[in-house]
């Protein structure tokens, strides 16, 4: 695999994700993506078998990036409060820093055909391992995995998705969310 090509495929991915942020998942087409990526439409078929397969593959590849991002923020000697704050804020920060990937992943997850193939919870397995550790140490309460993922990430993602409709005091809401979730999940 030559460097040049790697770059080309990267441009294709970026083009697709950028366009989906701009036009929505229902607004993309192979030729639009090709134009945005600066390659011929035919070139896309060198890397992907079909549009369908391209979407799925890139979704699969990107789906756990948000979780990967927050995991990088986490430090193993954090206490419970910090852990939760880091996870929640990390999720929000990712949605700002990588708006297009955030939106892409969110859109794909709601799309029935795609979400069947990539389950959100599976993407969060690293985070879950971490949470299990904190549960074992008696810091976090013993809620089940699904409940944990739901309560930690769903509200902040909703906030992030609606960010532009907020006046600007999103910081305040974020603080509240962090506080709430700490209260629910932490022992004492």
Partner DNA sequence: CATGAATGAGAATTCATTCAT
Partner DNA sequence: GATGAATGAATTCTCATTCAT
* Partner from DNA, a second copy, none contacting 162, C-beta within 5 to 8 A by type: a second copy
Residue 154 contact, options DNA, a second copy, none, Cβ 5-8 Å cut-off depending on partner type: a second copy
User: Which residues make Cβ contacts (< 8 Å) with residue 101, sequence separation at least 6?
Assistant: 17, 62, 65, 66, 94
Interface pattern 129-158 for a second copy (x via CB under 8 A): --------------xx-xx-xxx-xxxxxx
Helix ranges (H only) for the chain are 3-23, 30-37, 41-47, 51-62, 65-73, 80-97, 99-110, 112-115, 120-123, 125-136, 145-161, 170-185
Binding mask 15-34 for a second copy (x = CB under 8 A): ------xxxxxxxx------
Query: Is there binding between residue 165 and DNA (CB under 7 A)?
Result: no
Q: Is 183 in the site for a second copy (CB under 8 A)?
A: yes
**Considering only residues 6-35, where is the footprint of DNA by CB under 7 A?**
8, 28-32
């Amino acid at each position: 695999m030559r460097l040049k090509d790697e770059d080309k495929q990267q441009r294709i991915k970026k083009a697709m994700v950028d366009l989906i942020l701009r036009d929505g998942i229902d607004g993309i087409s192979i030729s639009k993506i090709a134009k945005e990526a600066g390659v011929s439409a035919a070139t896309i078929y060198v890397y992907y078998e079909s549009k369908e397969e391209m979407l799925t593959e890139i979704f699969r590849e990107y789906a756990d990036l948000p979780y990967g991002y927050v995991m990088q923020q986490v430090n193993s000697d954090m206490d419970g409060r910090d852990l939760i704050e880091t996870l929640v804020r990390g999720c929000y920060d990712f949605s700002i820093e990588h708006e297009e990937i955030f939106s892409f992943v969110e859109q794909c997850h709601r799309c029935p055909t795609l979400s069947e193939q990539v389950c959100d919870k599976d993407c969060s397995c690293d985070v879950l391992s971490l949470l299990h550790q904190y549960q074992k140490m008696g810091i976090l309460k013993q809620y089940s995995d699904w409940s944990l993922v739901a309560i930690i990430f769903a509200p902040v993602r909703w906030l992030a998705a609606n960010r532009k409709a907020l006046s600007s005091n999103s910081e305040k809401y974020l603080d509240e969310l962090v506080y709430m979730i700490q209260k629910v999940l932490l022992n004492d």
